Structures are given as C-alpha cells and as structure tokens.
Amino acid sequence: MYSSVEELVALKQVIAEGSDTAATQRQRDKGKLTVRERIDLLLDPDTFQEVEPLRRHRATGFGLERRKPHTDGVVTGWGTVDGRTVFVYAHDFRIFGGALGEAHAEKIHKIMDMAIAAGAPLVSLNDGAGARIQEGVTALAGYGGIFTRNTKASGVIPQISVMLGPCAGGAAYSPALTDFVFMVRDTSQMFITGPDVVKAVTGEEITQNGLGGADVHAETSGVAHFAYDDEETCIAEVRYLISLLPQNNREAPPAVATDDPDDRRCEELLDLVPADGNRPYDMRAVIEAVVDEGEYLEVHERWASNIIVALARLDGRTVGIVANQPQSLAGVLDIHASEKAARFVQMCDAFNIPIVTLLDVPGFLPGVDQEHGGIIRHGAKLLYAYCNATVPRIQLILRKAYGGAYIVMDSRSVGADLSFAWPTNEIAVMGAEGAANVIFRRQIAGADDPEAMRLQMVKEYKTELMHPYYAAERGLVDDVIDPADTRRVLIRSLAMLRTKHADLPSRKHGNPPQ
C-alpha cells in the first residue's frame, strides 16, 4: 500500500506540473499562466477537488495513439469562492493546444452536469484551439453537448466564461451562451472565422486582436462584458462577481455586513445633477453616492455607453442598476442600449436580483440607421424583459422621462412595484418645445410675433403638463422625494419588497422579440 500511494503521489505530481517543460515555458513566454495557476487564483486556497485527472483519450490515427497525456488537455473539478461551492473547467493549452476531443468533451459534460445538479456556479477558463481535427466529427459532437448543457443551465446557475487565450470557430458559441464573458487584452481572442479565412474570402487583412481581441468585443461587438490587462486582475474580478450572485435560481444573492448606514443622506446629489435638463452629468457619480461604500461592478462598461448596467449592494444586499447616462448621447435609448439593458434585466430576474432603474431619458434615438436597423424590435426586447420580470422593481426619475422611452424604462404601467421622482422630474410625451410646436402650431403661425407666441406656449405646456407633481397627482409616481433621501427610500422599499411573490402565466416559454 505504501509503495502504491507513493507511485500515485508521484504520478499526480507530474500531472500537476506538466510533463512538457518546453510547453510550459512557451505558455509563460506569451505572458500566460498555466492552467493550475489560474485555478489557484480563482478558488479559495486548498479547496480544489479535481475530477478525472487520470483521464486519457482513446483515439487512434495521426499519431494520437502514441501520445495519450493525462487530463486530455482540460482540468475539471470544484472548490469554493468565499466559502461557496463553484465548479470549474479549464483548458490546458500545453496539451494538444487545449483542443477538444471526445474524452476532453466528456470531462466538460460531466462537470457541467454536476454543477447543474448541485446548483452552483460554473466558471470556464478558456484557452483552447477549438476542435481536435484528428478526432473529426466526434470532436464536433462534443461541442454540441456543451452547447446543450449551456442552454439547460441558462437561468438556473450562473455561468461565467473567462477568455484567457484563443477561442475560434464553433467553440466561441459556448461563451456566447453564458451569462458573463471576461477577456484579457492581447492574449485572448474570439472569432468564428480567423484572419486567414477573412483574407481569403474578402481580401481584408487584419490581426487576431483586431478581429476578435478583448477591446473589440468589449467596445464594438458587445460580446465581452469585461476586459482587463492581465489574468490576475481578470480572475480577481471574477471572484468579485461571484460574490454578488446567488448559487442558483432558487436562492437570493448572499447578504453581507456593511458599515454604510441605511439612512445615510446623500446631500451631494443636490449638486451632482443639474436642474437644467439640457446639461449633462455623469450618472456613475449618482450611483456611487447611493450604493454601499460607493462600490459597484459595471457590466458592459464600454459598449453602448449611453446606458449603464451594474451590480451593487444596498444595505448589504445585491441589486441590479439600470441607468441612463446623460454624458453619452444625452442618455437616449438606441439599438445597442436596448439590447444591453434587456439582457441585464433578464439576468437579474433569473437570479432573484432586485432591479433599480434610474431614469433620465429624452427618448429613443431618431435616425434612418436606427429605424432600418430595427429599433422597434430591439427596443421591444427591453420592454419585454421588464414586463416579464417578477423580481422587486423600483423606478426613480431624476429629470427627463419622455415618450415611449419613459414607458420602456420600467414605468408603473409595465409593472414597476414603486416609482419615485426627484422634484426636477419632467414626465411627458415629449419635450415642451416639441410639444408646443405640434399642439399650438396654428396659433404660433398666425401670431404677429411667432417666436414670442411659441415661448408663451412652451411655458404654458410646462406649467400645465410638465410640473414635477403632475404624474404624482395621477398616481403614476408614488412619491416625489428629496434627492438626499434617495438611499434611505430605496433601502426601505427593497426591504418591504423582499417577500414579493409574483406568478407568470402557465406556458412553456414566451416568444421575445428578436
């Protein structure tokens, strides 16, 4: 027994360190960590329990029968993050370039099934060259099994994809099916067809990073939710994200103790937000003033910057924040902003995270490109997401709330549990100038001084229909509050709504706009 144990320990030591020192050095030369170094950063110390470390492939042909390394290029198992169970699979680029074969795929399938059964988050550390060509269609079938499980787990357990190397072809669809995608600049890329294929088909020359690097997907395509300069920072942020999420859709996110008083007044808000609706300001400063310790995790920070979506805590409990950003495109809703917010609302609803919507929106972005690009159906995605959400929902109107954008941004009429407004709010079908030009166009045109008449009608419209208490008088806003009381009002309201229960109609699933 002693000699057998010694043999086992020696074998596992070789597996852990890697038998190919040259491959390990090539990994380091690229500025990349090894697979087990990454897992050690992700999980709490000494908590990783590996599954099938001795697994080998059974394929033959093309020299595969002479090369059967343990793990088959993927390390799978579970551990804890802040004491809570998390499952993980991580490609080992040193073995077959992390390419997926039959045994490799079966290991991933097994750990995904375990995560779903246990009701715990699944993190994939991606660093692979796609399908193992030598194994042919068997490798492709392995991807099909992963995609099926991604879909089965969607909305059941949090799924987080961390891109730490290449991810090309069909392999890129698995991250796209998960809840969050992290990328590292310069070392991670995602694309369906690589630069060589692009050049052959279209004649365009482009680098791998230019085609599918972290900045491209974080800023242009919207595929990546987060992008970081190095693996250590990236994985640390993954841990922070996990701390904000529940284990599964049957639990609430974990509550933590906070020293930030729940009745703290936010006097700085009186100076942060200009009363003049045409003056921009940074909505991030409002969020910082209200949430616990001023800390929040912004999702999709660089894509569709005219809307902000973020996870934060209020009185130690996770909330999702959706907020217009007046500093970018005046905070209008457009195609990308609608898609970004809709997906975030759906994620929050799936994982029992209350939603707070901060509203300062002049409407939808006008333009031929927007209309031809399908702003109607894309805007409807956000509307559908809010209407379908059963978690606690609170709307707060800071300044402008015009037209269809007011309705779409979680108004009382689409199911918000509570709606509050600051005394600077302007809720109307459109801005006073545009409304006056439509309603009083004949009087203005027939006046001796059309400009004076127009100004008079604008003032009259504001007085009659856009004063800050108009919506409150009609029950469409629950209260007009002092901005300094925002934190206290939100925390008290969320505490009241904590036991909210709402049922959706019995159905297989809805058919959301695409």
What the block records as the tokens of 449 is 């001084």
The shares of helix, strand and coil residues in the chain, as percent rounded to the nearest 5, are 45, 20, 35
> Dihedral through CA 133, CA 139, CA 140, CA 144, nearest 10?
-160
Residue recorded with tokens 């897992």: 39
Residue recorded with tokens 């030598």: 134
- Does residue 363 carry a catalytic annotation? no
- Does residue 170 carry a catalytic annotation? yes
Sign, CA dihedral 268-269-270-274, equals positive
Kind of pairing between the strands at 418-421 and 426-428: unpaired
Is 172 in contact with 150 (CB distance < 8 Å)?
A: no
What the block records as the tokens of 133 is 């060509």
Cα–Cα dist 139/125, whole Å: 19
Cα–Cα dist 300/218, whole Å: 7
What is the rounded radius of gyration, in angstroms, for the C-alpha atoms of the chain? 26
Cα–Cα dist 408/364, whole Å: 10
Q: Which one of the listed residues 131, 214, 405, 471 is annotated catalytic?
A: 405
Q: What are the residues whose beta carbons fall under 8 Å from the beta carbon of 450, sequence distance 6 or more?
A: 444
Is 392 in contact with 385 (CB distance < 8 Å)?
A: no
Task: Read off the amino acid at residue 339.
Answer: E
Cα–Cα dist 292/257, whole Å: 10
Residue recorded with tokens 């300094």: 484
Q: How far is CA 478 from the centre of its chain?
A: 30
Q: Which one of the listed residues 155, 169, 194, 373 is annotated catalytic?
A: 169
Is 20 in contact with 76 (CB distance < 8 Å)?
A: no
Widest CA span in the chain: 107
For 4-73, strand residue ranges (E) read 49-51
Q: Which one of the listed residues 170, 316, 373, 415 is annotated catalytic?
A: 170
Residue recorded with tokens 């902003």: 337
Closest CA to 217 of 175, 159, 245: 175
Residue recorded with tokens 């596992």: 12
Closest CA to 397 of 472, 299, 314, 465: 472
Is 384 in contact with 406 (CB distance < 8 Å)?
A: no
- Does residue 405 carry a catalytic annotation? yes
Cα–Cα dist 252/256, whole Å: 12
Q: Which one of the listed residues 155, 404, 415, 434 is annotated catalytic?
A: 404
Task: Read off the amino acid at residue 299.
Answer: V
Give one DSSP letter per residue of 450-472, joined into a string: HHHHHHHHHHHHHHHH-STTHHH
Catalytically annotated residues: 169-170, 404-405
